[in-house]
Structure 1
Amino acid sequence: MTAEHVLDDRPLVPVRSLANKVPEVTACFWIIKVLTTGMGETASDLLAHTFGPVPAVALGGLGLVVSLAVQFSFRRYVAWAYWTAVVMVSVFGTMAADVLHVGLGVPYGVSAPAFLAVLATVFVLWYASERTLSIHTVQTRRREAFYWAAVLATFALGTAAGDLTATVGFGYLGSVALFAAGICVPALAHRFGALNAVTAFWTAYVITRPLGASLADWMALGHARGGLGLGLAPVTLVWTVAIIGFVGYVAVSDRRQVIHGEGPVAKHRG
């Protein structure tokens, strides 16, 4: 075999390519995702009640910028950095939807379609630029930027959708049941070949937001509003501890895969 053949057989990898920056979609992924949505909902309300709306938005925006800067600084997926960014997107996405409704008086029936249009625009621009919306190919800075723009839009959309159903007669517990049933639709459609993996993923990703937020609101808010009345601070604390526990488990599991050379994380490192 000549030197030319050896060179021709080597994979062509862009110099600036990264390891995939998004975790594998497992049961733990969806559990943590739902936990972050609920925690973001109650944390956002807690910050607004404690510091006032304007300082709360400023704190949420600062936390989002810092967490995303840390996330972008890594060249591979790092569990704590990724999920911290998701939490801050959840907090700020909630604030974005609440500011439109509470601060500017925009009805949820208007803001929800508006955020849906924003998400659709992000997807159109992402696909036009990269020819894919798959989370398994988030291996460049540009794709990572599109990914986080889409994530932020899904959180804002999910917040508005969840609050809309809660205020039109479903209530918080009814909304939990509605979205729990709704998230099964893309899963089953994909299982039986009626929906491709990318569309099924992003559909389920959007639904996790109102599902987790409705559950957290039901736990935290008072009986007069149809909730259990546990309070914003206790629910935020409990959900935060749960997130830390699951992220810690995932980080340890990923570390073991790297050490033993097994699983998708080890392949990404390789």
Structure 2
Amino acid sequence: MSYESARVTEHQSEIQSAVSKVPAVTLGFWIVKVAATTLGETGGDWVTMSLNLGYLVGCAIFTAIFVALVAAQVRSDRFQPVLYWATIVGTTTLGTTVADFADRTLGLGYPGGVALVAALLALSLGAWYASERTVSVQSITTPKAEWFYWVTILFSQTLGTALGDWSADEDLGGLGLGFEIAALVFGAGLVVVAMLYFWTRISRTALFWSAFILTRPLGATLGDLLDKPVSQGGLHLSRLYASAALLLFMTGCVWMFPQRPATKGAPG
């Protein structure tokens, strides 16, 4: 084998190894994703509200967890389902606390919070595209691309939280739809994205990120429905117990649904 052929083979091996750390996008993927986003809402609220640590301390705690998990994910040489989904939960809990910090502590309100995080998400996607010339998950072939991927996921989770709160709540400039109606709205949005996926030729990358963002407000409103007081339209379940139940459900889904690495040409 020539030197150039060996280099090509080595490069292809590196690409496959990096791509294999991202799970295939299947129905099971989206079920686990919704469970993870719901867990992120109840878990984030448990730390900041039930433990009374506040949004700033919560942001600090979850930022440290997020950075540690992403660093472990980047260092890993293969797809590890438990590590991957733990990192996803890390982004959802941090996204919850960051959105609440912006909306409430900084006083931006829900419209201001949505605008700020949407701008940060657009900036992240733009920087990723400028660097890699694509924002497809299939472009994750280097540590730099992986960091772009996870930062973009973080902003998408944060935007989803802000959108869910803006739609469901009445205060802070919210639309006041209530948790059930808001969940139905975002669920319907996911159905529309699925229809576009199966019946149109719209960019699969654009549809992937649209669905990824929409699952977060769906999870946020479901999480609020579980743990908010009855007077606010919730079921007033313990945030700790709800989080534990969601973690068990999510763990069961990861075990039950096939967890295989994505391959070139897969959606997203």
Higher relative contact order (CA 8 A, sep 6+): 2
Q: Which aligned pairs between 1:60-99 and structure 2 lie closer than 5 A? A: 60-99=62-101
Aligned AA for 2:180?
A: L
* Residue 239 (structure 2) pairs with residue 232 (structure 1): yes
2:28–2:253: 8 Å Cα contact kept in structure 1?
Answer: yes
1:43-88 Cα deviation digits (max 9, x unpaired): 1111012041143232212211221121111022111111111101
The verdict on how the C-alpha distance between 1:209 and 1:6 changes in structure 2, with shifts beyond 3 A counting, is closer
Counterpart of 1:24 in structure 2 is 24
TM (norm. structure 2) is 0.87
**Cα offset for 1:122?**
1.2
CA distance in 2, matches of 1:151, 1:101: 19
Opposite residue 194 of structure 2, the aligned amino acid is: A
Higher mean Cα deviation, 24-33 or 120-129?
120-129
Residue of structure 1 in register with 2:176 after alignment: 169
How far does residue 219 in structure 1 lie from its aligned partner after superposition? 1.6
Q: Which residue of 2 aligns with 1:108?
A: 110
Q: Which amino acid aligns with 1:105?
A: G
- The RMSD of aligned alpha carbons is 2.3
| Aligned partners of 1:67 and 1:81 also within 8 Å | yes
| 2:22/2:262 contact within 8 Å kept | no
Tell me which residue corresponds to 1:134: 136
**Residues in 2 aligned to 1:10 and 1:143: alpha-carbon distance in whole angstroms:** 20
Gaps in structure 1 of 5+ consecutive residues: 258-262, 266-270
Letter paired with 1:85 = T
Q: 1:268 is matched with which residue? A: none
The size of the alignment, in residue pairs, is: 254
* Aligned counterpart for 1:199 among listed residues 203, 206, 211: 206
TM-score, length-scaled by structure 1: 0.87
Matched residue SS, 1:22: coil
In 2, Cα distance between the equivalents of 1:8 and 1:145? 28
The unaligned stretches of length 5 or more in structure 2 are 170-174, 264-268
- CA distance in 2 between partners of 1:116 and 1:63 (Å): 23
**C-alpha deviations, 1:163-222, integer Å up to 9, x for none?**
000121211111111100011122211222152110000000000000011011112212
Aligned to 1:48: 48
Tell me how far apart the structure 1 counterparts of residues 47 and 219 of structure 2 sit (CA, whole Å): 18
Is the 8 Å Cα contact of residues 222 and 231 (structure 1) preserved in structure 2? Answer: no
